Amino acid sequence: MTAELVRGQNHPLPHTRLEIRVSAGHPVLAAAALGDEEGRLAGPEALVHPGAAALPGVEVPRQAAARHRLDVDLAAVRDTVHRVSVLLALPAGTGGPTRFGASAAPVVSVGAPDGTVIADYTITGLDREAALVALELYRRQGAWKVRAVGQGYEGGLAALLADQGLDRAAELAGAVLEAAAEGQTPAVPAPAPRAADAAGRVPESEAARLTAPTRPVVPPPPPAAPPVPPAPGGPIDYTHPRRRQGETPTAAAADGPAPDPAGFPAPVAGDATGWTMEERLYNQVWGMFEDLARTTAAYRSACDFAESRLDQELDRVLSDPRSRVGGAGDTARAAAKARHDELTARAQEALDRDLAQLTAESEVVEPALPAAYARWDSPVWQAYRVPTEAPMAVRLGDLHLPERTGLRIPFLARLPLARGLWVDSGRAHSEAAALLDPAELRRLALDSAVAHAVRLLAVHPAGTFRIRVVDAAGAGASAFAALVESGVLAGPPAAGAAGVQAVLKQLTERVDLLQMAARAGAAEDLPPGLDAAEELLVVHDFPHGFDDRSVNQLRYLADEGPAVGTHLLLIADRADAAAYGPVLDPLWRSLTRLTPVPDDHLADPWVGHAWTYEPPAFPAGSRVMRQVLDQLGDFRRQ
C-alpha cells in the first residue's frame, strides 16, 4: 500500500530503481543534490540540474514544468553518495507564483518503474518560500529509505544552495534558473497508472492523482466584496488536491436523489474518486475533513479581518479630535460597527451553508462505512464476519472543530500503520483529563487502548495479525480478560521484569531477522517456524518493569518495527517516565498520541487548526466486542 508521509516521517524503499513524480499545479524547476553521510555536497558537480552533466544514477528534467518525473537508480550512484535530496524551485519570469504559499501544495510521489507508488508526500505549511528540499533518499544500515523533508527557503534557490554548503550559491542558482529557462526538451510525462485494467482504462484514483482537481464544499456565490483580502500572488486554495469536482453526482448516483432546491448536488456515499468503494469512501472522508478545514479557515480569517478593520476604523475616529465627542463620533463608531457586523454575518452565512452541506454528506456517508471505518455503534458490527482482505485504513476515533461540534469526521489512519500509537493516561497536557481522578483516567486509557487493539485485530484476515500484551504489574488484568478468554492473544500477558525482557528480546530478534531478509531479498531463508504475520505489542503502565536495556529495545521497536509489520501501542503517562530524562523524547515523538477523553491536541499544520480528538468507545452494555472476539477466537482455534 502507498504510505502517506508527513514532514519528518521516513519509509523503507523496497527498490533501488525509482521514479519520483512531482505535481505542483504550476511550473517548478526540479533538481537533485547528492550528499555524503553528513549530507554535505562535494561541490557544484554534486548538483544535478537542467544545465549540468548527468551523474550516475540520477536524471532530472531539462526545463520547468507543472509535472516532473525524476529517474533514480540508487544502485548506480557512487559509493560516496549516501543522500539524494530532491529540490524544487520556482522559476522567475514565467508569470506564475513567486512563492509556494500562493498556490496548491506540491505533491511528491516515490514509485517503482512499473508505476507502483511507494510513498506520497503533500508538502503543506508553505508560505513565502520560493525553493525547498522536498524529500531525501538516504542510506541506513545498507538499505535505502525516503524521508519527507519539506524544508523551505524564503531566499529561493540561492539560499537553499548556500545552506547545502556550496560556494558562490547565488551565481550557481542563477545559472540553474537560466538553464531551465533555455531548456528545449519537454518535461518527462508521468507514466501510465499502475492499476490500468486489461482494456487500458485508468482507475479514477490514479487519474485524480495526476490531474489533482479541487472543489469547494458547495459552489459559492460571487460576493460583492471579498470578506478577506487576497494574499499577494493570489489566494491560497485550501481544498484537498484529491477532492473531485462535485458539481454533478457521480455516475453511480445518477439514479439517486435529486439535487436540493439550493442547486447543490444531493450527497451520495462513495461520491469521490477511487477504484473500489472502500477507496472512494476513504477519499470522501478525507475530502470532508479538508473541506471542513477550508471552510472553517475562511470563516476565522473573515472574522479576524472584520475585527482588524473595526479596530482600525475606531482608531481613526479616536485620533481625530473633531470626532472624539459629539454626534459625529457616535455616527462614525456606529457605521464601523455596522460594517463589522455585516462582514461577520456574511462569513457566518457562508459557514452555515457549507456546514449544512457537510452535515448532510456525513449523515449519508457514516451509515455506508465498512467495519474498519465505522463507529462501534454502527449496525455493520452486528453483521461482522472475519475479513478475507486487510482494509486500506482503520478508524482511530473522530475529529471535530468548535464551530460545529456535532459534525464529526472519522479519523482514519492508513494501514499498515507507519507509526505506533500512544494512549496518554496522564493529566498534565489535557484540560479534560486534569478534571478526572487519576485512577479513573488510567482505566479509561486502558479501555481505549483495548478498543484500538480489538479493532486492529478485527479488520485483518485471520492469522495475519497477532497481539502481544505486556502488563508488568498485572494492573490491566480485568481489561485484558476478554482478549485472554477468547484466545486471540499470541500468548498470555507478560508480567514482571522477566516477562518484559523475554517479550522484547523475542520481538527485537524477529525485527532484526525480517529486516535482514528484506534487505537481502531472501525471505525464503528465514528460520523455519518464523511467522511473518503483523504483530501489535500492547504495553500497559510503561515504564513499570522496564530497565535501561528494555527501554532501548522499546525505542528500537518503535523506530524499526513498523517497516516489517511490528507495531507498538503504548499506554503511559509521560510524567511516570520523567526519570529517564530526554532519552525518551524520540520515543514519544515517534508515536501518534491519542487521548482517552476528548481533547484538542491534534494540530493541523495545513491551516493551523487544533482539532478535537474523540476516542472510540463501545456503547454502554454492548456485546459487540465479545461477539467480535468470539468469532476471531473460533477462527484461531480452527
pLDDT for residue 186 is more than 80: no
Q: Is the CB of residue 89 less than 8 Å from the CB of residue 28? A: yes
Rounded mean pLDDT of 393-398?
A: 96
Summary mean pLDDT of the chain: 81
Contact 202, 196 (CB under 8 A): yes
| Mean pLDDT along residues 1-30 | 85
Dmax over CA atoms of the chain, in Å, equals 93
H/E element, 358: helix 326-365
SS3 154: coil
Mean pLDDT of 429-455: 91
Q: Which CATH architecture has domain 3-182?
A: Sandwich (2.60)
Name, in order, each residue with C-beta under 8 angstroms of 600's C-beta and a sequence gap of 6 or more.
610, 611, 612, 613
Q: Which of 56-65, 289-298, 501-510 has the highest mean pLDDT?
A: 501-510
Nearby residues of 522 by Cβ (< 8 Å), 6 or more positions away: none
Q: Which residues contact 369 (CB under 8 A, 6 or more apart)?
A: 281, 285, 378, 380, 395, 410
Show the DSSP H helices in 201-325 as ranges: 204-211, 277-319
Rounded distance between C-alpha atoms, residue 537 and residue 557, angstroms: 9
* Tally: H helices and E strands in the chain: 12, 20
Q: What is the pLDDT of residues 350-390, one digit of tens each?
A: 899 999 999 999 999 999 999 999 999 999 998 899 999 99
Contacts of 327 (CB under 8 A, 6+ apart): none
Choice among 157-161, 202-206, 427-431, 471-475 with the minimum mean pLDDT: 202-206
Distance CA(615)–CA(601), nearest Å, equals: 12
pLDDT tens digits, 13-25: 988 899 999 988 7
Is residue 592 within 8 Å of 371, Cβ to Cβ? no
Q: Quote the crossing angle between the two packed helices 477-486 and 624-637, to the nearest 10°.
A: 40
Per-domain residue ranges of the chain:
3-182, 208-369, 420-637
In angstroms, rounded to a whole number, what is the distance separating the alpha carbons of residues 391 and 393? 6
Burial class of 302 by CB neighbour count within 10 A (0 to 12, 13 to 18, 19+): buried
More confident of the two residues 358 and 26: 358
- Report helix, strand or coil for 563: helix
Q: What is the 3-state secondary structure (H, E, C) of 440-476?
A: HHHHHHHHHHHHHHHHHHHCCCCCCEEEEEEECCCCC
Average pLDDT over residues 205-231: 32
Grid cell listed for 560? 524499526
State the Cα torsion 114-117-122-128 to the nearest 10°. -30
pLDDT at residue 569 greater than cutoff 80: yes
- Across 36-164, where does the E strand assignment appear? 47-48, 58-59, 65-73, 83-89, 107-111, 117-122, 131-140, 143-153
CB atoms within 10 A of CB 77: 21
Q: Strands across the sheet with 465-471, in order? A: 465-471, 534-542, 566-572, 420-424, 591-594
Compute the radius of gyration of the chain from its Cα atoms. Answer: 27
CB 131 within 8 A of CB 160: yes
The model's pLDDT over 286-311, given as tens digits with 9 standing for 90+, comes to: 989 988 988 898 898 889 888 988 88
Contact present, 507 and 535 (Cβ < 8 Å): yes
To the nearest whole percent, how much of the chain has pLDDT over 90? 41
What pTM was computed for the model?
0.61
